[in-house]
A and B are shown apart, each in its own frame.
Chain A
């Protein structure tokens, strides 16, 4: 493998891994903030205990999100220096805004929240976690704006002298039509993970520890499952809007999502296809007529361009070469994203039904505890693999091929070192994190109702909640 392939594998591995922690963080902090708000307003102890319990799980998770995020910030320059030179003028701005407006907010207020339980007035302490929520949302927005620019470059001009893209309209970059649909889609998808996590943990406790804290975990189960359901509706609506924008700005990605080789009008949606390995011929398939036309254009008889005609058009526009992404990969990740996401919504709905009006969940349902958060998480992953590989062979659509972005001075030995190093380190940390998470989950609400450690006017003592 050459430096390019190695650098791509490293980016894929470290980014997919980073995004295991991102959706949990985004949603769990908001749910925790909601629980703390419920406690603040009602004074009910169960909300305080849930806040502390899920807050602890959130902290275990965000620690991983923060440190793996550092790699992302450095990696552009380390492995993609020509990309950085080409886009820095445009792409750097949202990244810097993310640091300035989001990361400072998150990191500072999370410290205040962890260590401020007995030190800050209740309302101020509650405000701290809401500031963290705001930070995560801003962070998501800016980084998605940066990514959306790679899918659909706007607000720039090409400077031939410097051989780079230059920003002409920051507002256009921040209101790119792709980010406007991608942001809600990503946030709702994150809430499916966090809701599933809250519900899954609660379900496990209700079944495996039926004697302890039944009422508290019943509330958590209902809250979590409801979040999944509401978020799944949001995901579907925003995903539908996204499909239409994608058809407009990246028709090849839409065609690749469907493995639609020939232009169709009207086009049917393929549910399942067994085809030849390169996907160019189908052997067996299930299709829903008219659906793709509707998803892509909003009309049941709309025309959806096929891969072959787009390839011809791109050759006219950009010169000879292949402009097709990896079709089997985009086809299957797109389907699995939708299928797995729908399955998790169905599980949440079923759980709400089967536990309605005080009914206890049956014992075998414990097997759904892990899939509840993991299915939406996997759907998130498939979604990102789809949208990033679907952009190939472009790094910045229509402007910069992926092969042109890699660092010229970096050797394959260096990239192998970091690729192996990060992968091994991430593997070990995954084991450490998962074990700690499971341990904390099993321990349950014990300790969450401990009395305050310190009286307000004494010198600071280390807190049990913190370190």
Chain B
């Protein structure tokens, strides 16, 4: 495989990992306030993501940095073009991160209520806007011959991208609820399980609509197959959830999110930023790529260290594998 393709796959992998992992902690962030009916329950719910959410977020930083290093043109066009949504995502992630760490540092209901509001907003807003952003990447945006974004903020809020945003929120809520059912006990567990059934139905409809539309816009045989696999995995996850097989349900939503993101990247390749103006203005992976030396050096280093990261991040999940009880 060409190194450019290898790095396209690497970027896709990082985003996939990010949405699978941060997906459930976004979901927990959106849900713990309503699912937990009192402070001990809420504390237990949020403790399920306590040790891991920060590590999950590094997948995003890594996706950004790897794009910068391997596809500087892509990084430049994407980040400057999607300026305001990215600004809003940053604001969301900032208030969320601070609130997650500070929530338990003062034992007062008013303080916690403020932190809860920050966590909810900081979980919904980035989830929604990542959906909008990915919808736009796949759909294409107006780029000029220099690959500069020439649309406005309104251009990004098209129906397809907004559907993408809603889909991301609904899927992450379901993914988070299933994670909570898997990681808590007693009433909280039951409530999370029931909620996942309800939100799962909505998420399934949105997912089918969004992914089918994406394939209609820009799909090939492979991406259609991956899309179908994603939908089947999601359906399987929801059935497992109905049967209260929480582990399998989580495997289902994990695979569904992973395959859905992969289907979008497969549909995108070999472009990275399609232009809606002139097809000649479309930015391709090859055009956006770094030099062969940089690609090679990065490949060697990543091949050595990335497995190590997976091992110790996996170990964290193993250490904190037990269910959190309400205390």
Please tell me if A115 contacts chain B, counting CB pairs below 8 Å. yes
Known: A67-B98, A103-B61. 8 other contacts (CB 8 A): A77-B64, A77-B78, A96-B65, A100-B301, A100-B305, A115-B47, A408-B146, A462-B46
| Pairwise interchain contact A462-B297, C-beta atoms closer than 8 A | no
Please tell me if A148 contacts chain B, counting CB pairs below 8 Å. no
Please tell me if B76 contacts chain A, counting CB pairs below 8 Å. yes
Please tell me if A319 contacts chain B, counting CB pairs below 8 Å. no
Please tell me if B327 contacts chain A, counting CB pairs below 8 Å. yes
Please tell me if B270 contacts chain A, counting CB pairs below 8 Å. no
Cβ contacts A76-99/B at 8 Å (1 or 0 each): 111101101101111111011111
Please tell me if B276 contacts chain A, counting CB pairs below 8 Å. no
| Pairwise interchain contact A103-B62, C-beta atoms closer than 8 A | yes
Residues of B within 8 A of A167 (CB): 290-291, 293-294, 297
| A115 with B320, Cβ < 8 A, contacts A73-B61, A108-B55, A417-B87 known | yes
> How many angstroms from the CA of A89 to the CA of B320 in the assembled complex?
39
| Pairwise interchain contact A436-B54, C-beta atoms closer than 8 A | no
Min CB gap A334→B, angstroms:
32
> How many angstroms from the CA of A97 to the CA of B70 in the assembled complex?
12
| Pairwise interchain contact B87-A92, C-beta atoms closer than 8 A | no
> How many angstroms from the CA of A432 to the CA of B103 in the assembled complex?
12
Please tell me if A107 contacts chain B, counting CB pairs below 8 Å. yes
**A-B Cβ contacts below 8 A, count:** 243
> How many angstroms from the CA of A119 to the CA of B298 in the assembled complex?
36
Q: Classify chain A: how many residues form its interface, as a range.
A: 35 or more
| Pairwise interchain contact B102-A60, C-beta atoms closer than 8 A | yes
Residues of A within 8 A of B76 (CB): 77, 81-82, 84-85, 88, 407
Majority DSSP secondary structure for residues of A touching B: helix
Please tell me if A68 contacts chain B, counting CB pairs below 8 Å. yes
- Minimal Cβ-Cβ distance residue in A for B146: A408
| Pairwise interchain contact B65-A421, C-beta atoms closer than 8 A | no
> How many angstroms from the CA of A232 to the CA of B44 in the assembled complex?
45
Residues of B within 8 A of A362 (CB): none
Min CB gap B85→A, angstroms:
11
Min CB gap B127→A, angstroms:
16
| Pairwise interchain contact A93-B294, C-beta atoms closer than 8 A | yes
- Minimal Cβ-Cβ distance residue in A for B59: A104
| Pairwise interchain contact A92-B293, C-beta atoms closer than 8 A | no
Please tell me if B240 contacts chain A, counting CB pairs below 8 Å. no
Please tell me if A110 contacts chain B, counting CB pairs below 8 Å. yes
Please tell me if B157 contacts chain A, counting CB pairs below 8 Å. no
| Pairwise interchain contact A417-B84, C-beta atoms closer than 8 A | yes
Please tell me if A170 contacts chain B, counting CB pairs below 8 Å. yes
